[in-house]
Amino acid sequence: MSGPTASDAPAGAALTPPPEAEEPVRHPDAPAPGTLLGSHYDQCFGCGPRHPHGLHLVSRASDGVAVTAELRLQGDHQGAPGLAHGGVLASALDEVLGAVNWMLRAVAVTRRLETDYLLPVPVDAVLHLSARCTAVHRRKIYSTAEARIGSPQGPLAVRADALYVEVPMAHFTTHGRAEDVEAVLRDRPGIAADRAFEVNP
């Protein structure tokens, strides 16, 4: 798999949509605002209900090309004593940013994720996450997200900007560990191999 070199995609530019990028358009079949989105994979660290140590995030469709979710932080999420680990917070934001792609009905993976940590987050906090798509250019999906402490209007603790790239289902079946790919195909008999990972809201 070849991709752009560092000189092709300077750090700041990668998250700035080109002038010819378009406004995102909510897919006509996107789940109605308020609908809870199902997990795309039950072992996903971000949203999988069967992941023993995962974040168990449940994203909810918003108006437009956007979602929200809540993350109840726990002791297992510590970095510094009593404070959430930055990687855990980035994972949560990556999950809701990824869920936004389903409002476009696009299957896409994270190409770049940039996080700004503005406030320390205690591990007994509930983080209110929101993410929305800002632009689309061919296979590239540009999005932004926030995490606020305690309520959707609470103090802004973390924000993120991201670039996702749309991929074919073969991305997962080709690159995924064979035993996990086979397990998904076994668990969903009758679903064609290239559909077996589809998000199922």
Ligand X SMILES: CCCCCCCCCC(=O)SCCNC(=O)CCNC(=O)[C@H](O)C(C)(C)COP(=O)(O)OP(=O)(O)OC[C@H]1O[C@@H](n2cnc3c(N)ncnc32)[C@H](O)[C@@H]1OP(=O)(O)O
Q: Interface with ligand X by CB under 6 A: which residues?
A: 1, 3-4, 9, 14, 40, 94-95, 98, 107, 109-112, 137-140, 163, 165, 167, 197-199
Per-position DSSP letters for 148-201, written without gaps between them: EESSTTS-EEEEEEEEEEE--THHHHHHS-HHHHHHHHHHSTTS-GGGTT----
Output 69 or 149, the one with its CB closest to ligand X.
Answer: 69
Rounded distance between C-alpha atoms, residue 131 and residue 94, angstroms: 9
Residue 62 CB, nearest approach to ligand X (Å): 18
Q: Which one, 95 or 146, has the nearer CB to ligand X?
A: 95
Q: How far is the CB of 94 from ligand X (least distance, A)?
A: 5
Instruction: CB nearer to ligand X: give 4 or 28.
Output: 4
**Residue 117: CB minimum distance to ligand X, A:** 19
Q: How far is the CB of 96 from ligand X (least distance, A)?
A: 10
- Shortest separation between residue 141's beta carbon and ligand X, angstroms: 10
Q: Which residues, including other chains, have CB under 8 Å from residue 69's CB and lie 6 or more apart?
A: 57, 58, 59, 60, 92, 95, 96, 99, 129
Give the N- to C-terminal CA distance of the chain in Å, as an integer. 31
Cβ nearer to ligand X, comparing 83 with 181? 181
- CB nearer ligand X, residue 57 or residue 149: 57
Q: What type of residue sits at position 50?
A: R
CA nearest to 141, candidates 84, 77, 66: 66
- CA torsion sign, 79 to 80 to 81 to 85? negative
Q: Which is nearer to ligand X, 119 or 191 (CB)?
A: 191
Give the nearest distance from C-beta 154 to ligand X in angstroms. Answer: 25
Cα(21)–Cα(2) distance, integer angstroms? 23
Which residue number has the CB closest to ligand X?
14
